[in-house]
Amino acid sequence: MLQSKYNLRKLELSVKQEIKCPHCHEWTLWRGHIDDRCLYCGEFLEIENFTRSIETKIKREVKKENDFLFVREGDSVFLKKLKTNLRPIRTAVYYLQIGFVIFISALLWLIGIISA
């Protein structure tokens, strides 16, 4: 118990490091988190990573909304039900296609082995 506690503390210490703030150019503590702020000016340290993570999050949301099976607020009850029921079917079809490709390539490989 004491051993694991010590290891954790050591890990925490190793992650912490000094970083030069991109905003005020003071040396401040950085723990490797995207939401770490400068001790002097309070700005985000990894501003590039921070914005990028938000960007990918938004992009993911947009992609979800462009999906024709995405349930929208204005959809009727029937349409909502239809969309929720179609989603697992589409996923199943997708995996069936992958399975089919694997099956065919395995078959071709087997034919190659037999004829050789």
Give the residues lining the site for Zn ion (CB under 5 A): 21, 23-24, 38, 40-41
Beta carbons within 8 Å of 5's beta carbon, 6+ residues apart: none
- Smallest CA-to-CA distance from 41 within 59, 21, 61 is with 21
Structure-block tokens of residue 2: 């004491």
Taking the complex as a whole, how short is the minimal distance between the CB of residue 33 and Zn ion, in angstroms? Answer: 16
Least gap, CB of 63 to Zn ion (angstroms):
35
- Shortest distance in whole angstroms from residue 49 CB to Zn ion: 16
Q: Is 26 left (phi over 0), alpha (psi -120 to 50) or beta?
A: beta
* Contact between 23 and 41 (Cβ < 8 Å): yes
**CB of 36 vs Zn ion, minimal distance in Å:** 11
41 or 101: CB nearest Zn ion: 41
Distance (Å, rounded) from C-alpha 16 to C-alpha 23? 20
Token pair of 20 as six digits: 């030069």
Residue with smaller CB distance to Zn ion, 42 or 99: 42
Instruction: Specify the residue, 30 or 38, whose C-beta has the smaller distance to Zn ion.
Output: 38
Q: Name which of 46 and 87 has its Cβ closer to Zn ion.
A: 46
